[in-house]
Structure 1
Amino acid sequence: MSLAVLRRAVLQLLLTVLGLAVLVPFAWMLVSSVKLDSQVLTVPIQWIPQEFHFDNYVRIWDRIPLGTYLYNSMFLSVTITFLQVLTGSFAAYGFAKISFPGRDLLFLAYIATIAVPWQAYMVPQYIIMERLGLVNTRLSLILLQAFGAFGVFLMRQYYLTIPDELTEAARIDGLNEYGIWARIVLPLSKPALASLALLTFVNTWNDYMGPFIYLTSNDLWTVQIGLRTFIGLYEAEYAMIMTGSVLSILPILVVFLFGQRYFVQGIATSGLK
């Protein structure tokens, strides 16, 4: 056996072990969702319950308005994802394909905002939303998350891989910048668009602090906030929490499975110029 083959075998084994280690928490969550509360936190972990309580997946719909929570999460995730992809791709086109004074300095300043922690400006944001009368509305979260520096960075890096000759030829043919962006650049950027859409969707779906701060009405809660219902002052219903968690990751799993090919391709090529 050659040294190269041995290295590859060791690398494959290492990646397999790491992959299985990542899946352990998900396996524990799935097993815990069909247990009683008293059986969830046993030491050592009981991987195969003596009795499976699949009725947890039926009872949870009666305990909380899970359908409403899932709808709210889906509405916010889809809307914010669409807006971030739209604004991010449009701004990235300007930074990548249009020359204007101070472009690189402006882009650097905009990207530098990624380094600013959200906790540093969440209070001013809340004050602004409160004065606009948007607290306890979905619009507050949509407006705050419709723009993202990371999306602009990701799309710009991908746009740099598109030859400038294509856009120059379109300009010579009389196509304006909006037409170039919509008819030439976007169709060539499906992998990057899919990557940005998937990352934004997952981040919005799993967001806890945003809905927790701005949404006070039970009818507007997302699934992440709704699962707090099972946490009391002195105890928590861990089995119901795990059941709700399993149901909440199903939409993410479906989205990832459908967009996996574009996602991997987009991440792999976004840094190549």
Structure 2
Amino acid sequence: MLGRSQSIPWGQRILLYAFLMIVGAVMAYPFFFMVTTSLKDNQSTFANILAPFGPSLEWANYQAVLSTINMGRYMLNTAFITICVVLGQIFTSVMGGFAFARIKFPGRDALFRAYLGTIMIPFMVVLIPTYKLMLLFNWVDRYESLIIPWLFTAYGTFLMRQFFRNIPNELEEAAVIDGANRFTILWRIFVPLSMPAIATQATISFLYAWNSFIWPLVVIHNKEMYVVTQGLADLQGGYHANVPYIMAGATLAILPTVLVYILAQRYFVEGIATTGLK
């Protein structure tokens, strides 16, 4: 890769870098606009909406969104739900991926294909049956309805299975000779070697759980139980004429996902590359 980039003439490299900088600036501008608008007052926003800043930085917008509009409570609810979903999906994906990759049992491949096929089922198809289950269990307006149905993921199981299949058999055989059982092999050998894949799964699960909107909208009616996406919708409906408030809420909602992706980016790319996904 390095030799290939050095062989490109310097003139073409300059044009390439300039093009990439322009593309990057175009993609980053909406986020820049969102943050800067959140720090303006409403009057200066409508006076010149393209101006990067107003007469002063209005940090009070964030204070109002967090306290008055209760976005802080919504973010805490979402953080708790997201952490539970991420940890649950990692646990079930590691266990399922190990079973499908390393344990031979009758019907293993057929069962895996059937489980993987559930990815093709649209969420709207299972929305009503799942909601009826929540009513049966009396889980409406409770954390259980936002956590337990999403503890299992076919994509995560597939991701971990692909990674576990690439681990040499010699490591497992050596552990068996030393007297290790399957759980010891999994948690002492496979899991430490699979941190890139686990980080990838954690990132994907975090983004999905944090940004979930349709399902919380269906099963959560009590405002004290709202998640951040419901809070944003409520904010837009109640303060549609106050653009800085809406942008401040959007900034608070998107900030955790950006930080998680930045911190896990190296593991995310490595995990995708080492599992053979295209």
Give ranges in structure 1 of 5+ residues lacking alignment.
Answer: none
Tell me the distance in 2 between the aligned counterparts of 1:125 and 1:223. Answer: 22
Deviation at 1:225, TM superposition (A): 1.0
Tell me the distance in 1 between the aligned counterparts of 2:130 and 2:14. Answer: 51
The answer to whether the 8 A contact 1:35-1:51 is kept is yes
Aligned length: 272
Alignment partner of 1:266 is 2:271: yes
Alignment partner of 1:118 is 2:126: no
Query: Counterpart of 1:176 in structure 2: which amino acid?
Result: N
Q: Secondary structure of the residue that 1:232 maps to in structure 2?
A: helix
Alignment partner of 1:75 is 2:85: no
The answer to whether the 8 A contact 2:38-2:245 is kept is yes
The answer to whether the 8 A contact 2:69-2:235 is kept is no
Tell me the distance in 2 between the aligned counterparts of 1:78 and 1:267. Answer: 22
Deviation at 1:231, TM superposition (A): 2.9
- 2:220 pairs, out of 215, 218, 224, with 215
Tell me the distance in 1 between the aligned counterparts of 2:159 and 2:19. Answer: 29
Deviation at 1:55, TM superposition (A): 2.0
Tell me the distance in 1 between the aligned counterparts of 2:17 and 2:273. Answer: 19
Tell me the distance in 1 between the aligned counterparts of 2:64 and 2:105. Answer: 60
Q: Secondary structure of the residue that 1:162 maps to in structure 2?
A: coil
TM-score when scaled to structure 2? 0.88
The answer to whether the 8 A contact 1:230-1:238 is kept is no
Name the residue aligned to 2:140: 135
Deviates more, 1:124-133 or 1:258-267: 258-267
Alignment partner of 1:224 is 2:229: yes
What does the per-residue CA deviation read over 1:98-140, in whole Å, with 9 as the maximum and x for residues that have no partner? 1222222221221111111101111111111111111111101
- Aligned identity (percent) is 36
Alignment partner of 1:152 is 2:169: no
Give ranges in structure 2 of 5+ residues lacking alignment.
Answer: 1-5
Tell me the distance in 1 between the aligned counterparts of 2:119 and 2:102. Answer: 22
The answer to whether the 8 A contact 1:215-1:221 is kept is yes
The answer to whether the 8 A contact 2:240-2:246 is kept is no
Name the residue aligned to 1:181: 186
Deviation at 1:83, TM superposition (A): 0.2
Tell me the distance in 1 between the aligned counterparts of 2:31 and 2:189. Answer: 41
What does the per-residue CA deviation read over 1:131-184, in whole Å, with 9 as the maximum and x for residues that have no partner? 111111110111111111111111111112211121122223322211111111
Deviation at 1:7, TM superposition (A): 6.1
Tell me the distance in 1 between the aligned counterparts of 2:47 and 2:95. Answer: 52
Tell me the distance in 2 between the aligned counterparts of 1:139 and 1:105. Answer: 31
The answer to whether the 8 A contact 2:35-2:247 is kept is yes
Deviation at 1:9, TM superposition (A): 5.3
Deviates more, 1:260-269 or 1:176-185: 260-269
RMSD of equivalent CA atoms:
2.4
Alignment of 1:1-273 (within 5 A): 3=8, 11-37=16-42, 40=45, 45-232=50-237, 235-271=240-276
Deviation at 1:53, TM superposition (A): 2.4
Tell me the distance in 1 between the aligned counterparts of 2:237 and 2:217. Answer: 17
TM-score when scaled to structure 1? 0.89
